A and B are shown apart, each in its own frame.
Chain A
Amino acid sequence: MDRFQYLLLMGACVLITLPLELCLGSRVWRQPRRLAISLLPAFALFVVWDIWATSTGTWDFNPRYTVGLTLPGGMAIEELVFFTVIPICGLLTLETVRRILQVWGSH
């Protein structure tokens, strides 16, 4: 199970923010096209940075806690999940805070 630690952590991030979409009415997952396109620029930039940083040795991934699939240079594929999941958590937070402020403001 240790090998799945990184992936499980990302799964936990998805689960913990899901109520923002399902209960608090943020519309992030429900706009898949807009979501996918808005993730792209940051995804491309941070993956290139990550591949470079891993191949030059700035950072590295512990084989004990990752599944072992890597991109050239040694970047763990979990990083691809990270650059998808973490921004989605951020967008869900932003949209939820906006909705809450909007509701408060309208009273």
Chain B
Amino acid sequence: MPIYPTLAVAAAVVVVLLELRVLRSGLLREPAYWISMGICFGFMIPVDGWLTKHSAPIVLYRPDDTSGIYPIWDIPLEEYAYAFALLTLVMLAWDRLGRKEAVTYRAAFRASVRGSGSSASAGTHRTGAA
């Protein structure tokens, strides 16, 4: 495999392992994280598309070093792994530094999901128990 896709995939794997084995923040289980990544990838298309467009490139790649696969416009496939690693690493650090806030947020989110998702049945149970 050429060098750029190799390193990009390795970076993404290392960041995921960092979370799963070391930090264990729960970020990758959080719906807000996956929704955010979806939005970021959406905006990545015009921004990175502009940077890499073959007609007037700002960044030029040596063809031998890339996968040569361009799913959307002229953005190399491995660029998505690169972006995933960059954004996820920063988000992990952000949550690590504001740990209390992130944990409180997740607890509140879980409670609200539980509350709204099963409020009817939980309500009956509670009434029954009382």
Contacts and interface: CB of A to CB of B under 8 A. Distances in A.
Partners in one complex: yes
Contacts of B97: 34, 37-38
A98 B36 CA distance: 9
Interface in B72-105: 83, 86-87, 89-91, 93-94, 96-98, 105
A43 to B, nearest CB: 9
Interface in B51-69: 51, 56-62, 65-66
Contact of B112 (A87, A90, A93, A102): A102
Contacts of B86: 42, 46, 83, 86-87, 90
B40 interface: yes
Interface of A: 5-6, 9, 13, 31, 34-35, 37-42, 45-46, 49, 53, 56-62, 64-66, 83, 86-87, 89-91, 93-94, 97-98, 101-102, 105-107
Interface string B116-129: 10000000000000
Interface string B7-43: 1000100000000000000000001110110011001
A56 B58 CA distance: 18
Contacts of B113: 105
Contacts of A102: 105, 108-109, 112
Nearest to A53: B4
17 contacts: A5-B58, A34-B94, A38-B94, A39-B93, A45-B89, A46-B86, A58-B4, A58-B61, A83-B86, A90-B40, A90-B86, A94-B32, A94-B36, A97-B35, A105-B108, A105-B109, A105-B116
Contact of A91 (B35, B60, B94): B94
A89 B43 contact: yes
Contacts of A31: 98
Given A83-B86, A89-B43, 6 more contacts: A42-B93, A57-B65, A59-B60, A61-B59, A86-B47, A97-B32
